[in-house]
Every structure is written in structure tokens, then in C-alpha cells.
Amino acid sequence: MNDWPEGWSDDNRGPRYGRGSAGAQPESARVMRQVRRGPAVPPGPRSGYDGSGPAAPPHGAGVPQQPSYVDGRGHEPGAGDGYDSGYNTGQVYGAPGGRGPGAPGGASAGRPRPAPNWRRRIKWTAITVAGVLVVTSVATYFWADSKLRREVDLSKVIDRPEGGDGTNYLIVGSDSREGMSKEDEKKLHTGGAEGKRTDSMMILHVGDNGDTLISLPRDSDVVVPSYQGSTSGKVFPAQGRHTKLNATYAEDGPTLLVRTIEANTGLRIDHYVEIGFQGFASIVDAVGGVEIDIDKGFKDKWSGADFEAGKQTLNGQEALAFVRTRHAFAASDLQRTKNQQKFLAALAHQVATPSTILNPFKFYPTMGAGLDSLIVDKDMSLWDLASMFWAMKGVSGGDGTSMNMPISGSAGGNLVWDKAKVKTLVDELNNDEKVTVSGN
């Protein structure tokens, strides 16, 4: 049965695929749209793909009429000019206007980019920065808290006075050589004595009506009260024994020192802070030195001090010599306590500067050096420690009072406190009133 349209035979189809024909084309050539460049071929009888051979049968007999693409326009010449295939311009997939997303200068390039949403960007930037600050702050808090050495148990102090308004810190500078080598002891002129003694003692009262820093001379004459041994737990009765204040620390450590101060003043100590030689020098070095104005030059072979008058920046070794010197002064320990207050004020100011707080390469070493060397009571929190620090800075800036414990004279080489002034001072502190008493 012949499947070709009427009038067609298997022999008059012209050149075709198969049968070894020289003009054979692949089968797909009969369905591909072919584009020819150049002048259009005039209409006329055509057969095959090169115009040779018998003409194709007319439209009909089930064969749909196919458009001609020989002129590159997709229709016969003269059929109208309303259609352009786009092949001549390369804009085959043109959108209205002949510009497509895949062509140069297409619709995506022609449309303007949307304006950036700055409000959204600022919002997410702020959220990100806030999140980083929160995470950093929390991590810093736990890191710092883990470094505190809470070794002093004030619950072992017996017969304590009632607490007043405000918070009272006992700040102790000890001559502890913990962590020091023989070279360090020689360099810092500390000597190699065994045990620990106190080189400085201060009470810092933090309240709503101004902060007060009171130095307690180490040679202060005190009566040793009854106390509970820090290690044995045994209670030792009072015997009316007089001694120097720093000797009580050497006898039974921080708890006896606190017990003696409370018994001789009537002022309750809320928190205890102690720092040794090495820790003090490390803090000064970590902060990059401390600038201080020395009124009058002095030398002391015992502490290694050798200073000229005027402004100068002290490193850790020099700072330790400055706060320990007493043999170079006629007022001895009283002048030393004044120098200690002066230096601590300068140190607090230096630590609190933006160049230290905002610089992590200075802030963390300084904080680490300080926390590693501090010994505090078991109830001390970082917030308590920060409150103490800012109060010391406030006192140094003129927002509080710095003074020595009032002295009335001496007995047996010990400095005797003025009992009347001490009572007035303690009453004002307990009531958180502005201090009116002056010290030596």
C-alpha cells in the first residue's frame, strides 16, 4: 500500500535520505528550520533542498503547508512585513521591544536595580553587634569570676559588730612572695623572709554620701581580742595584749586581722581584698606603667627607691619601691600610707582610661594580672569588686575623702589612735554620713 500522497511515488520524491543518494540528507533535515543568509530566493518551482528535481506537490492531501525560511523572515517575500524571526539581529527570544534577558542590553540590564534597604541593613547590623557584645560580656564575666581566689572565710570571725549603711572593704597589701623566684626577690628588693606580713592596710567605705578611704598604719597600737583560730577552730580568750596591727596578720592571717580591726573600731568589715608584691607589680606593668607626680625626690636602700621630683611614669618594680618606702621619711609609716593612697589613685585612674578599657590587648592582660593576684573573701562577687574599684577611682578624682586613721600620739614605738575621733568617724560611716573627721 502506498502511504504517499496522490501523485507521489517512491521514485519521484527527489534526492532523499537512504538508497546511497549523493544528495542524501539526514532525516531531521526535513523538519529543521533552515536559515539562509543573503538575498532571498525568488519564488518559483523548487524541489529538494537545492531547487533541483520535480516540484513538491501542492498543499493538500493531508500535508500541511510549511512556511519558508529561505529569506530569513519566516515567510514568502511579499507576504507582508509584520513578522521578523529575529535571526538577522540575534534577538531570537526577544521580549516586546526586541530585548531579551539573554541578550546584551536586555531587560535585566535595562531595569534599574532596586535601592538597598538601609533600614533593614542597619537593623540586622545592630542586632549582630549587640549579640556579639552580649556573648563577649557573658564569656568575660565567667572567665573573670573563675579567676577570683575566694580563700578568706569571714564566717570564722567571732563577736562581730552590727553592720551599718554602705559597704566596708578591708584592702591589704601583703609582702607575700608567692610565685617569686630568687631573682624576682632580688630585683624587687623584697628580701627572702618566710611567711606573710602586711605592708599596707586600708578601709574603703562605699556609700551614698561620698566614699572614704582610710589608711591604717601598720605600726598602729591595738589590743588583741578573743578570736577563733583560722585553722584549729579553737577560741583564744582576750588577754589585754597590745601589739602592732600588722602583727595580728602575721599571727593568724586575715581573720584575726579583721577581728582585731572590728574590735578596736566597732566598724564591721563586709569584704576582704589582699594583693601581694608580685601581683601589684604585674598589674602596673600590664597597664603600661602609671604616671605620678612626686613632690620631693627620695632614696631608700631597703626598698630600692631612687626617685627625682616631678612627673614620671613608674613601671612595676619602681611602683613597688614607691609604695613600700618608709625609712626615707621623717614621718615614716604615716608618709608611706599617704604615698600608697596617692599611687593607688593614679593606678585606678590609669586602668579606667578608654585606652585600657577599650583595648582588649591591654584590658585582658591587666584584668588577668589583677584577678590572678587577688585573694578575697568567699562572699566577694565581681560586682562587689567592681564597686570597690570605681569607688577608689572616685576618691582619687575628688568625689570622696582620703585620710589616715586619726592618731593621738605613740607608745612604745606604736602609733596610738585618737579614740574620740575614731568613734566619731565610725559613727559617721555606719550612718553613711559625710565624714567630718580629719586624719594625720
Burial 103-123 (b: 16+ CB within 10 A, else e): beebeeeeeeeeeeeeeeeee
Alpha helices by DSSP H, 165-244: 182-187
> What pLDDT is stored for residue 66 in this prediction?
56
Distance (Å, rounded) from C-alpha 180 to C-alpha 192?
Answer: 10
Contact 201, 216 (CB under 8 A): yes
Question: What does the block give as the cell for 430?
Answer: 555606719
> What pLDDT is stored for residue 247 in this prediction?
92
Distance (Å, rounded) from C-alpha 156 to C-alpha 137?
Answer: 34
Please tell me whether residue 326 adopts helix, strand or coil conformation.
Answer: coil
Question: What does the block give as the cell for 271?
Answer: 569584704
Distance (Å, rounded) from C-alpha 405 to C-alpha 158?
Answer: 24
Q: Which helix (H) or strand (E) holds 203?
A: strand 198-206
> What pLDDT is stored for residue 63 in this prediction?
53
Q: What is the distance of C-alpha 100 from the center of its chain?
A: 53
DSSP state of 154: G
| Angle between helix 333-351 and helix 277-286 axes, rounded to 10 deg | 40
Residue 356, number of CB atoms within 10 A of its CB:
18
Rounded (10°) CA dihedral 383, 385, 390, 393: -170
Helix, strand, coil abundance in the chain, percent, nearest 5: 35, 20, 50
Contact 287, 350 (CB under 8 A): yes
Mark the ranges of the chain whose per-residue pLDDT is less than 70: 1-110, 176-182, 184-196, 397, 440
β-strand pairing of 198-206 with 400-404: unpaired
> What pLDDT is stored for residue 84 in this prediction?
52
